[in-house]
Structure 1
C-alpha cells in the first residue's frame, strides 16, 4: 500500500514537471519529454528492481535535470522538480532497508554524494545543503523504523522464551507428579493380575493396568501439547507426522493399523489440531472401552480431509450390534466436545456402533472461514 502511494506521488510529480515545462514561454523542448521519460523509468526501477539500482538511476536522472539543457534548470529554480526529493528520499530508504552488504551502501552513498556535488557546482552551497535535508530525513526515518522493529522482535523473542520456560516447567510438573503415580498404579495392577487367586480378580487387574497405560499415553500427549507452542502458520500434513500419534498406543501394547492416502497438503493449524484430536480420541476410546481390540486409523486427503478411527471390539457394556445409532454413554463426554470442535471448523462427525465394534468418522475442509 505504501509503495503504491509513493509510486503514484512520484509519477504525479514527474508529470507536474512536464506540465509546468509545457506552459513556459517558447516551444516545448525535446529535453522535457526525455526528462519525463527518464523520471518515470527511474521510478519503475525503484519500485520494481533492486533498490540500489533505483538509487543509482534516480541520482543520475536528478543530476541530469539540475545540470542538463533547458527547461530543466529553470524548472529546478521554480521548485517544479518535486520528483527529485520525493523519489530520491524513497529510493534511499529502500536501499537502507534492503542493504545486504556494505558495498551496496557505499555505492548508494557515493552516487548520492555525487548528486549533491552536482547541485553544489551548478546552484551553490545553499542549494546543495537543501538537497541533503530530504535524504538525511529519509535515512533517519529508515533507521528509526529499523530500531523499532528490532526492539519489537526482541520483546517478542523474550516473551516467547518466558512462555516456553513456563510451559516446560508446567509440563515437567505434570509429568513428574501424575506420571509417577500412574506408573505405580500400572505396576501394582499388573502385580495384582499376576498374583490374584480368582479369575475375576486377575481380569480386574488387567483392566486396571490397561486403563493406567492408556492414561500414561494420554499424559504424554498432554505434556507434548503443553511444551509445543501453537502456530498460526499453515503446516503440511504428512504420514510421518501423523504416525507419531499412534506410536504411543503401539508402545502401550495397543494393536493399531494406520493408513494415509492422498497427496500431502497444507492445512491451517486448527485443522491439524482437530485431526490429531480425532485420532487421539478414537484410540483412547478403543483402549478404554474395548481393551484388546484392534484399532484402525485411516486418513484420506483430498478436497477435504477424512479421518476414520474404528475398532473391532465391542464397546464396554454394549454389544457390537447394539441397536440404534449415536454415542454410547461411555463415549459421550469426549465425543460431544469433539463434535463441537468439528462443527466450529465446518466439519462433520459421525460416531456409531458397527457390526464389528465402534467407528468415528470425521470430514474436515482444507480451509475454514471460522
Structure 2
C-alpha cells in the first residue's frame, strides 16, 4: 500500500510543481506578484507554459529549466522558474557544476538588474535599484540554493546510513552463516566420534554372533542386526555429509517410496505391521513425503521401545489438501504395557509437522495401545 502511494506521489508531484510554476509565472507577468508586462497574452502564456514544463521535468534534466528561467527573468522578470532552478541546483549539483551555476546565476541576475534599470516605469523601480536587485537575488537564488544544499546533504547522510545498515546486515548474515557452518561441523564430528563408533562396534559384534551362533534363528537375528546397523551407518554418513555441506537441503532424503522398506525392517523383528492406503495416491511435495516418513519412523521406534510385539497399523489417507498419517498399535503383550507419554522424539516430530502448517496428535487410545495422528498439508 505504501509503495503504491509512493509511486502515485512520484508521478503527481512533478506535474503539480509544473502547474504551480505556470500559475505563479502568470501571476508575476500580470502584476499580481511581480512586474506587469505589456506583451500579448498568448506570448505570456507560452513563456509561462515553458517554465512550467521545464519545472515538471527538472528532476530528470536541470539545465533546460536553468535556460528557460534565465530567459524569463531577463526578459520579463519572471521569477518562479529561477527559484525552482536554484533549489534543484542545490540538490543535484556538486563542486564544479555548482560553482558554474552560481557564477552564471549571478551574471544573469546582474544583467536583469541592468535591463530593469534601463527600463522605465514600475520595472525600474522594483528590479532596477541596487537594493531591490540584491534582495531579489537573495530571495530567488540564495535562499532556494541553501535549501537545496541542505536537502541534498540530508539525503546523502540518509543514503550513507542506509548503506551502512545494509552492510552491517550483510556482515551479520555472513557471521551467522559461518557460525552455523562451524556448529554443523562440530555436531558432525561429535556424531562421527560417538555414534558411528558405537554402531560400528554393534555391527562387528553382530557379525561375530552370526558366525558363532549355535542355531539358525540366532544367526538370522544377528544377520538382521548387522544389516540394520550397516544401514544405520549409511544413513549416518548421509546425515554427516548434509551437516558438513554448505547447502544443508542437498543430500538424499527418505520419501514414501522408502516406506515399505521401513515397515519390512519392523516385520523382520517379529512385529506385525499392516499398511493401509486410502484415497488416490499421487506425487506429493518432497517436504510432505519426508515428514510423513519421519512420522511413521518415530511411531514405529516407540512401538519397538515400549510396546513389545504389539500389532501395528499404518494408515496413509490421501486427502485433497493434506496427507493424513495414522500409526496405532494394539494393546501390548509385553510386561511393560502400552507407550508412556511423549518423549523428545515426539516433541521434535510435532515441531517438524507444525512448521509445515500441519497438526500432530499423540496419546493412548481408549481401547488400549497408542496412536500417532499427523495431518500434513500438501497444497
TM-score band by shorter chain is 0.5 to 0.7
Contact 2:70-2:82 within 8 A present in 1 as well: no
Give the C-alpha shift of residue 212 in structure 1.
5.8
Give the direction of change, closer, same or farther, for the CA distance of 1:308–1:174 in structure 2 (3 Å limit): closer
Give the 5 Å matches for 1:101-250: 110=100, 113-123=103-113, 126=134, 127-130=136-139, 131-176=141-186, 178-184=187-193, 185-196=195-206, 197-198=209-210, 199-208=220-229, 210-211=231-232, 214=235, 217-218=238-239, 221=242, 245=249, 247-249=250-252
Give the C-alpha shift of residue 179 in structure 1.
1.2
Q: How many angstroms apart in 2 are the aligned matches of 1:87 and 1:11?
A: 15
Contact 1:117-1:128 within 8 A present in 2 as well: no
Contact 2:89-2:145 within 8 A present in 1 as well: no
SS for the counterpart of 1:248 is coil
Deviations 1:291-344 (A, max 9, x none): 989xx99577xxxx9965577xx854676864875343799655643443343x
SS for the counterpart of 2:325 is coil
Give the direction of change, closer, same or farther, for the CA distance of 1:20–1:194 in structure 2 (3 Å limit): same
Give the direction of change, closer, same or farther, for the CA distance of 1:211–1:327 in structure 2 (3 Å limit): farther
Asked if 1:55 is matched to 2:62, the reply is: yes
Asked if 1:66 is matched to 2:69, the reply is: no
TM-score calculated relative to the size of structure 2: 0.54
Deviations 1:238-297 (A, max 9, x none): xxxxxx84x4227xxx7x7xxxxxxxxxxxxxxxxxxxxxxxxx79x969956989xx99
Give the direction of change, closer, same or farther, for the CA distance of 1:34–1:292 in structure 2 (3 Å limit): farther
Structure-2 residue corresponding to 1:38: 50
Give the direction of change, closer, same or farther, for the CA distance of 1:45–1:134 in structure 2 (3 Å limit): same
Asked if 1:14 is matched to 2:22, the reply is: yes
Bigger relative CO (Cα 8 Å, ≥ 6 apart): 1
CA RMSD of aligned residues (A): 4.8
Contact 1:89-1:134 within 8 A present in 2 as well: yes
Q: How many angstroms apart in 1 are the aligned matches of 2:171 and 2:314?
A: 53
Deviations 1:133-162 (A, max 9, x none): 422431342133213321332244235424
Q: How many angstroms apart in 2 are the aligned matches of 1:335 and 1:166?
A: 26
Give the direction of change, closer, same or farther, for the CA distance of 1:30–1:297 in structure 2 (3 Å limit): same
Give the C-alpha shift of residue 223 in structure 1.
6.9
Give the 5 Å matches for 1:88-103: 88-90=86-88, 93-94=91-92
Structure-1 residue corresponding to 2:276: none
TM-score calculated relative to the size of structure 1: 0.55
Give the direction of change, closer, same or farther, for the CA distance of 1:30–1:179 in structure 2 (3 Å limit): same
SS for the counterpart of 1:46 is coil
Q: How many angstroms apart in 1 are the aligned matches of 2:13 and 2:178?
A: 47
- Report the number of matched residues: 275
SS for the counterpart of 1:326 is strand
Contact 1:14-1:40 within 8 A present in 2 as well: yes
Contact 1:193-1:205 within 8 A present in 2 as well: yes
SS for the counterpart of 1:180 is helix
Give the C-alpha shift of residue 57 in structure 1.
0.9
Contact 1:11-1:40 within 8 A present in 2 as well: yes
Asked if 1:326 is matched to 2:335, the reply is: no
Structure 1 portions without partners, runs of 5+: 97-104, 229-243, 257-281, 351-358, 365-370
Structure with max Cα Rg: 2
Contact 2:202-2:229 within 8 A present in 1 as well: no
Give the C-alpha shift of residue 194 in structure 1.
3.9
